Structure 1
Amino acid sequence: MSRVWLITGASSGFGRAIAEAAVAAGDTVVGAARRTEALDDLVRGHPGQVEAVRMDVTSPEAPAVVDQVVDRHGRLDVLVNNAGRTQVGALEETTAEELRYLFDLHFFGPAALTKAVLPHMRRQGGGAVVQMSSVGGQITGPGFGAYCATKFALEGLTQTLRQEVDFGVRFLIVEPGAFRTGLFNPGAAYLSEELPEYAETVGPTRGYVTGGDGSQPGDPAKAAAAILTALDAEQTPLRLALGGDAVDNIRTELDTRAAELAAWEQLSRATAFDETAGQHP
């Protein structure tokens, strides 16, 4: 049976690639974007199979789109929370407004959409939620503090959802490395105002983001195919790292954490009450 997808940020990058892969699989796609005209060619090329809806995931009205999709199509099988942006800035450079907006975009928006879709998936007996995280949901880098914080938060919420939702919903956290998605296009990344004190630590990150477009090794079309493969697997993984760079960096981080845990394990375990505490001879 064909599925109905709702994909945010569907106008470009991973969102567009996932939409095209789902269409090729014979599914119905509702592509959500702030600029729906970017989806006109996909809608024209697949009449009755693709529709575009205008959505800003940071808006309180965004979750209502979920109910509208179900009203029109009778069900919603896959929600892909993909909308996002790259942001670079040390914490001291990042304004409170910039930080809050990024959390609205990467965490509160996806959380609200996921919450909205769960009653429908419970009623229909299952579904899938794909959270487009990042290798930055597992590792950090100078200047990516705000970005990584939002992805860490989304991953923590989603890991918990898999533990508490018991009516057949699959949760997939996708952790891509560097892919040619347009996030590094000129003007695409948001850069906080620079402070000279961070030139040595955050400066190289700014240079990489503003000058690295077109050199990323990852192919978004292959990423989209991998996501569909994981969703269709008998056992969908909770996390799917995409790209050799993501695998290598996450493995290094996990090894570092394990080594640190082992090095401090004795002190960590020595914080329990003594068994004889409070006992009188």
Structure 2
Amino acid sequence: METWFITGTSTGFGRILTEKLLQRGDRVAATVRQPSALAELKAQYGDHLWVATLDVTDTAAVRRVVDAAFADLGRIDVVVSNAAYGLFGAAEEVTDKQVRHQIDTNLVGSIQLIRAALPHLRAQGGGRLMQVSSAGGQTTYPNFSLYHATKWGIEGFVETVAKEVAPFNIGVTIVEPGATPTNFGGGLVSAPILPAYDQTPAGHVRRGVFNGDFPIPNDADKIAQAILESARQHPAPLRLALGSDTYADVRAALVARLAALDAQQAVALSVKADA
């Protein structure tokens, strides 16, 4: 039996992972903003489900809840940083308040969760950290600039942490799901619309999202199962690309960046200091 700690478990991947783990007999420390969201699962699984209310933008609460989970449950094998949402709007459209909340939730909240978990994972001799990112952690789409800022940021942080904690037997994986029917689109927070962007790529993407024109090719249950299976891979994969769209989009982005870098080789080498 394993014990997992997962944030953002009321809906989406967090909820599906929680259900799958409980069904196979594992224990889950689940955090939600509204405890009633897991009342049915708590009634069904009892002590196998540990529930705490948590807003990941509250750093003191993050530390308090993580400490309590390890104190109550003992060893926690896998910590999943999943709580996040998407802010939808061109960079000029989003409000200052929206910018701050997006960063505090997706980036700072994830950073502080990982920082809170690390001392416990070291003390118990190892474990696994999983950060749920997205294809948008390596690619970009108009109207998602702030969302991308947080996902690119957390990927840089987590990739660095992986190098720091490898000597402590802590495996680290960045999970990158593609478009999946988990109500992500319905949960988007939208910015005030500026007419100037109507006939721009931002406007085209806005209409496509609102009209449901973009394909959603992935199966949420299969993605959750792949995440569970990856937790037993050793060594831990640093990145887990999940979805045909993720593979295609991330590969295209990486190939384009490599081509752009190679095209600048001469100028890159030209600034070397003289001997």
Which protein shows a greater Rg?
1
Q: What corresponds to 2:32 in structure 1?
A: 33
Worse overlay, 153-162 or 82-91: 82-91
Q: What corresponds to 2:63 in structure 1?
A: 63
User: Are 1:52 and 2:47 an aligned pair?
Assistant: no
Q: What corresponds to 2:102 in structure 1?
A: 102
Structure 1 alignment gaps of length 5 or more:
276-281
Q: What corresponds to 1:14 in structure 2?
A: 13
Equivalent position amino acid for 1:173 in 2: I
Equivalent position amino acid for 1:172 in 2: T
Task: Give the match's secondary structure for 1:233.
Answer: coil
CA drift at 1:152: 0.5
Label 1:132 to 1:213 Cα distance change in 2 as closer, same or farther (>3 A).
Answer: farther
Q: Deviations over 1:141-168 (max 9, x none)?
A: 1111000000001000000001111201
8 A contact 1:86–1:189 mirrored in 2: yes
Task: Give the match's secondary structure for 2:168.
Answer: coil
Equivalent position amino acid for 2:51 in 1: A
Q: How far apart, CA to CA, are the structure 2 residues paired with 1:84 and 1:262?
A: 35
Compute the RMSD of aligned alpha carbons.
Answer: 1.5
Q: How far apart, CA to CA, are the structure 2 residues paired with 1:171 and 1:213?
A: 35
Q: Deviations over 1:214-256 (max 9, x none)?
A: 9522111111110111110122210011100000000000110
Equivalent position amino acid for 2:219 in 1: D
Equivalent position amino acid for 1:258 in 2: L
Task: Give the match's secondary structure for 2:56.
Answer: coil
Q: How high is the TM-score relative to the length of structure 2?
A: 0.95
Task: Give the match's secondary structure for 2:62.
Answer: coil
Q: What corresponds to 1:174 in structure 2?
A: 175
Q: How far apart, CA to CA, are the structure 2 residues paired with 1:71 and 1:208?
A: 47
8 A contact 1:184–1:213 mirrored in 2: no
Q: What corresponds to 1:202 in structure 2?
A: 202
Residue identity over aligned pairs, in percent, reads 38
**Going by fraction, where is helix more abundant, 1 or 2?**
2
Q: What corresponds to 2:231 in structure 1?
A: 231
Task: Give the match's secondary structure for 2:256.
Answer: helix
Report how many residues are paired.
272
Label 1:10 to 1:211 Cα distance change in 2 as closer, same or farther (>3 A).
Answer: farther
Q: How far apart, CA to CA, are the structure 2 residues paired with 1:53 and 1:206?
A: 36
Equivalent position amino acid for 2:136 in 1: G
Q: What corresponds to 1:278 in structure 2?
A: none
Q: How high is the TM-score relative to the length of structure 1?
A: 0.93
8 A contact 1:180–1:215 mirrored in 2: no
8 A contact 1:182–1:213 mirrored in 2: no
8 A contact 1:69–1:75 mirrored in 2: no
Equivalent position amino acid for 1:19 in 2: T
